């Protein structure tokens, strides 16, 4: 008989749940409103329109001149019309979810953004060709295909790090160069990444979030410190009815192990953590009692029942111990 073993890739699970979570317009907008506008509600979730996450770079000259087009897939990218100081801004916003530190993140993001700009140029060229509006343009405009009056939409990529550790990877291309002459680096354009890392968020700044991203990131920040995490959970009533997708992110990214019943959409995280702690304490108590009982049985020659009587073991603990002593 053949046995089929299903192997689950933990990184794949993390990517799936974080992308699903960040794809929600409310969460997506909240991340950028916090990072770009300091919590001011500039980007309206309803104004977001999801775009194709695939980026294909076709070099100028069309398909015949592109023997090996480059294709990359972003996590989430959306277009938005944002209003700031009574001015309209057309933007392309993208999010890259990271559950682990990527030590070449500046290069990764630079490629994604460059492909998006190349795509915009190609779309402009195609548009001019279809409309036939090259008449009256000078030779330079005609040859480049991109007119003097054409403009690009800014692409802002935000990296969200779903881990409690400090990000110790490079934040720019220049940080990835070693021992270079400053005169040379002055001629090399730097490329910096926009990073949202829970460990670097000040406690008072979590209040600038308007969605469940506040609870998710604050939980992640203190996931490794039980005492601080308990303070955070006790101080925020929102943790008593966190959504299933939020809990999926916490379970996958920081191993929260919060139990979710089938069909349950709102989870009391505080209660779940309390029950987990109680279960952990019970396991530790049972383990300690088991060792003590075995020692008494071996050294004193007593039965398991006599050993439990001497140790004043409760009825509930006896049931658990009998399973181990069988």
pLDDT in tens, 263-273: 777 888 877 67
Nearest partner of 77 among 23, 39, 37, 33, judged by Cα: 23
Asked if residue 54 belongs to a domain, the reply is: yes
247, 215 Cβ separation under 8 angstroms: no
Query: Tokens 């021992």 identify what position?
Result: 179
Above 60 in pLDDT, residue 251? yes
pLDDT in tens, 207-223: 999 999 999 999 999 98
Asked if residue 238 belongs to a domain, the reply is: no
Asked if residue 200 belongs to a domain, the reply is: yes
200, 217 Cβ separation under 8 angstroms: no
Share of the chain above pLDDT 90, in %: 41
Asked if residue 203 belongs to a domain, the reply is: yes
pLDDT of residue 171: 97
Sign of CA dihedral 246, 81, 107, 188: negative
Asked if residue 291 belongs to a domain, the reply is: no
pLDDT in tens, 138-183: 888 888 888 888 889 899 999 999 999 999 999 999 999 988 899 9
DSSP β-ladder status, 155-161 and 194-196: parallel
Above 80 in pLDDT, residue 247? yes
- Record the tokens describing residue 6, joined without a space: 């299903």
Q: What is the secondary structure of 128-172 as a DSSP string?
A: HHHHTTTTT--HHHHHHS--TT--PPPEEEEEEE-SSS---S-SB
- Record the tokens describing residue 3, joined without a space: 């046995």
Q: Which residue has the higher pLDDT, 188 or 322?
A: 188
Considering only the C-alpha atoms of the chain, give the largest distance between any 2 of them, rounded to a whole number of Å.
Answer: 106
Average pLDDT over residues 47-73: 60
Above 80 in pLDDT, residue 66? no
- Domain of residue 34 covers 10-223
Asked if residue 115 belongs to a domain, the reply is: yes
Asked if residue 296 belongs to a domain, the reply is: no
d(CA 141, CA 124): 12
**Number of domains comprising the chain:** 1
Asked if residue 118 belongs to a domain, the reply is: yes
pLDDT of residue 6: 37
pLDDT of residue 285: 82
Distance between terminal CA atoms of the chain? 32
Q: Average pLDDT of the chain?
A: 84
DSSP 198: G
Above 70 in pLDDT, residue 228? yes
d(CA 160, CA 27): 12
Above 90 in pLDDT, residue 90? no
Above 70 in pLDDT, residue 105? yes
d(CA 17, CA 8): 14
């Amino acid at each position: 008989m053949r046995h089929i073993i299903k192997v689950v890739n933990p990184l794949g699970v993390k990517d799936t749940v974080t992308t699903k979570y960040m794809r929600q317009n409310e969460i997506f907008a909240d991340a950028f409103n916090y990072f770009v506008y300091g919590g001011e509600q500039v980007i309206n979730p309803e104004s977001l329109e999801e775009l194709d996450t695939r980026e294909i770079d076709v070099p100028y000259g069309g398909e015949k001149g592109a023997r090996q087009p480059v294709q990359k897939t972003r996590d989430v990218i959306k277009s938005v019309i944002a209003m700031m100081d009574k001015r309209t801004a057309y933007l392309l916003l993208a999010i890259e979810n990271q559950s682990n530190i990527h030590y070449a993140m500046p290069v990764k993001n630079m490629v994604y953004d460059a492909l998006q700009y190349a795509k915009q140029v190609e779309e402009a060229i195609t548009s001019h060709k279809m409309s036939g509006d090259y008449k009256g343009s000078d030779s330079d405009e005609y040859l480049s295909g991109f007119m003097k009056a054409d403009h690009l939409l800014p692409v802002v990529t935000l990296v969200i790090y779903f881990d409690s550790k400090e990000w110790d990877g490079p934040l720019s291309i220049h940080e990835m160069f070693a021992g270079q002459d400053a005169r040379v680096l002055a001629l090399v354009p730097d490329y910096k990444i926009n990073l949202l890392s829970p460990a670097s968020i000040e406690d008072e700044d979590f209040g600038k979030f308007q969605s469940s991203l506040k609870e998710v990131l604050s939980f992640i920040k203190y996931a490794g410190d039980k005492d601080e995490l308990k303070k955070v959970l006790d101080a925020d009533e929102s943790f008593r009815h966190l959504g299933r997708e939020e809990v999926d992110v916490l379970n996958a990214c920081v191993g929260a192990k919060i139990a979710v019943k089938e069909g349950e959409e709102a989870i009391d995280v505080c209660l779940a953590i309390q029950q987990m702690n109680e279960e952990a304490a019970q396991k530790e108590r049972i383990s300690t009692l088991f060792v003590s009982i075995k020692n008494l049985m071996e050294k004193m020659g007593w039965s398991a029942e006599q050993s439990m009587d001497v140790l004043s073991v409760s009825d509930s603990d006896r049931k658990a111990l009998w399973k181990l002593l069988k």
